Amino acid sequence: MKLHFLCLIIFILSWGCKSSNPASFSLIKLDPTVLAENGTEVFQYWELDNDKTLWKFDPGEVQAIGVYRDSLKMVLGQERYEHAILKEASQNLKTDKQIEPENGDMINAQLVHSGSLGKIRAINLLEAQLLNYQLSKYPLLSHPTEFHGFIAEQDSLNRIRVYFAASDQPWPPKPNIIISELQKEMLNGWKLKYHLHNHYESSLKNYVGIMAPSLADAQYYKWLYEKFKIEKALITNGFNTVEIESEEFAEFISH
């Protein structure tokens, strides 16, 4: 009897370990709730337990991102590959070079890479899963796209909803359907906490997406804060993510 009970405890503990294993979690394997579809445009969400594993800097096995990284290494070569990643991960840029006032995108990049605004860190599991989901449809090197990710929390239920808008185009579709849904769900205790999207670059800039908001991004973040009091904006390039606190939004150049 004691042996049977001990085996049962071991089984439960091992099952719990497996359930929190990043390799066992995949958005591709989970059926989303589809809000609307229009051709290649999709608006949907997944509802999940707010497990601490989702926020760990361990993306697990993300096949489409892995293919992208391996392909990029082959295209650029090891040295350029490492330099491109390190360049966008750096926040210790020291320069006296003046940027033209009308070049807001470069000013924003300098603000992040000098360490003045934002925090660049490793990509986490949930971010990697969202990017992997989109890259499994449209490989980033051959068919680059961006997506909208809206992450809402329901603290009383310890649940999160990951809203997602994307298509086969370079820019994500306007997420009006998701915004309307979020406004309704706010009345049910949901709170929009984060906005996530991905960046990529052309071959001239070694493909690796810039870790800073564009003029349009910065404008959108300010609007999201006014509308939902969003806490953070997140931008990932498949290697790292920049976190931008809501109090920093106003310091970026926008349209």
180 part of a folded domain: yes
Helix (H, G, I), strand (E, B) or coil at 124: coil
- The whole-number average pLDDT for the span 104-129 is 95
Q: What is the pLDDT of residue 12?
A: 35
- Edge to edge, the sheet with strand 240-245 lists 33-38, 41-49, 159-166, 148-154, 191-198, 232-236, 240-245, 119-122
Q: What is the pLDDT of residue 58?
A: 84
pLDDT 10s digits, 4-36: 443 433 333 333 433 345 557 899 999 999 999
95 part of a folded domain: no
Count: domains in the chain: 1
10 part of a folded domain: no
**130: domain range?**
34-90+100-251
Read off the amino acid at residue 119. K
Q: Which two tokens stand for residue 206?
A: 């070694």
39 part of a folded domain: yes
Q: Give the span between the Cα atoms of 75 and 206, in whole angstroms.
A: 9
- Per-residue exposure over 64-78, b if at least 16 CB sit within 10 Å of its own CB, e if not: bbebbbeebeeebee
140 part of a folded domain: yes
Q: What is the pLDDT of residue 25?
A: 87
How many beta carbons lie within 10 A of that of residue 203, not counting itself?
9
pLDDT 10s digits, 169-201: 999 999 999 999 999 999 999 999 999 999 999
Report if pTM > 0.75: yes
Packed helices 215-228 and 176-186: angle between N→C axes, nearest 10 degrees: 20
169 part of a folded domain: yes
Q: How confident is the model at residue 47 (pLDDT cuts 50, 70, 90)?
A: very high
8 part of a folded domain: no
23 part of a folded domain: no
Q: Give the span between the Cα atoms of 107 and 93, in whole angstroms.
A: 13
Go through the chain and tell me how many residues it has.
255
